[in-house]
Structure 1
Amino acid sequence: MDITTRLKILGLILAVVIATVALAYAIREQNLRIIAERETQRLPETSIVAMPTEPEPAEPTPSVTDLADPTGSIHVMNMVPGQLFLNGSVVEGMAVAFESQFSWKLADADGRTIVSGYTMAKQPDAGIPGPFSFLVFFDKVPATASGTLILYEASAKDGTPIHVLRIPVAFLQETMTVNVYFGNTVKNPNAMDCSLVYPVERVVPKGGDPVHVLLAGPTAAERRDGYYTSIPDGVVLQGYGDLWGNMTYDFNQELQQNVGGSCRVGAIRSQIEHTALQGDVTGATEVGVPLGISIDGRSEDILQP
């Protein structure tokens, strides 16, 4: 084999080697690029992924519940245990009791009675529960910041409390000053104008309605100064609120017992209206604020002269 042929063979071998190396390098670069692309799509091993968690439950909002005594005879449906119990609060529910009557008492944390009373459930028939509603007024700020509203039926046998429902409550230990309105024999001799009434101040637990305070009448000292009331004894404020667009006060039958003559009827209305509106009867009339008076829910044919 001559030298020329050998050189040609050697050149061919060298070309094949170079081509092979170049191909291997190209394949290696391609593989590295693919690996790099895959790595960028992976999360680093040290990454911490925060898993979604359930939100922490919020503090439950107290809601009105059906509170009942162990026998289910007395239910209160508009209160929450531990709620703020303001002067003039309304208690509503359903009850079944002997002759439809049961008692209630508001006591402070030391067990002292603040105020007590009784109410009637409107039972459709014996043994069938009926609705009830009553107002709780107290004339002095309770001595403690908490207390208990107790509803119970007195045993027909011996008067022992049965069917007892106890509801813990909190008190607002603040007062407010209100005016109540009475007639006065010194300032209006011979009652020349029956509608004339005059204010005296009362400091009462915050939250109550001044009309309830009015029903207690003037103090002994005020009577000596000529103040008097035309409202009969035994009158009870049974409810108050917005009724058919009117601010209405509902009283028991005693409001019209032995009440005769236009002068006394006018004086009664004037006392209630001035006290309810805190003296601004004229201003309330000018802006169209009506005030209603009812007896056992009836507003017609009452307080007739």
Structure 2
Amino acid sequence: MSKNKKQKKSIKPLIALVSVLTITLLIVLFIYQEKKTVFFQENEIKNEKIKEEMEFPESMNIRVFQPKNGDSIGLPLKILGEARVFENQFVVRIKDSKGTIIKEQNIIPESGDMGEFNLFDKEINYNKPATAEGYIEFFSYSPKDGSEENKVIVPVKFSPVSNVLNLQVFFGNSEKNPNSQDCSKVYPILRRVAYTKSQQAEKAIEELVLGPTNDESEKGYFTSINMGVKLNKITIKSGTAYVDFDETLQSGVGGSCRVTAIRAQITETLKQFPNISKVEILIDGKTEDILQP
């Protein structure tokens, strides 16, 4: 009996130690679980907020992800979103807080199924704003009456831009050259783009193929270049610029006057650069049998 009593006495401290360790472990696990639960709750709340920010009404046909309300924008403006609009085309209009239009540009989202949302991810250059704040309008034109619809307005702040490049693009003008009496006559309009030491010629052509803004069109400016034309590349050798476009440049083009006007717009836009004295136009690498009257 005495031996059993001694064994029981020796076991008691061990049991007590195990109990203490067990309780301690349970407390640690409880605290960890509490922290883990709080962490998960915080993440769920955060994700829910993000989800709420990105949710749009089903009826909204132009959904803008970037920029967001109150964002500061630089040059160029970067836009990101998705659209479900007539003919897969809509307009972006940038205004300062006085309501002055400083840029208006047609946007064609990526191609996709009709009636489905298609992604757009573009960069837009714009003229210098007169105010520190403004807003961007995203909208499409109604196929019924031409009115503006599906409009989304995003208030923004214009960030100061130190390095800019002012380029000229050339368009026809029905007021200065009525009835296109001289088909080769084109007139310059300034475009402001982010400064780049190289590829200035590419920047100029990219702005040219966008065409005049609505405000410029009201002043008689027009382009003879098809909408949606893409520049493949420009190579400059010994003063000659070889400018290569896709097939859209000559799609549906007819008549010697229009062909002359297209060539004049491209040539004069490129000859503003001192290292270019001659321009050769190519379509998908070909120079023969292109832009025929």
TM-score by length of 2: 0.44
Indicate the structure (1 or 2) with the bigger Cα radius of gyration: 1
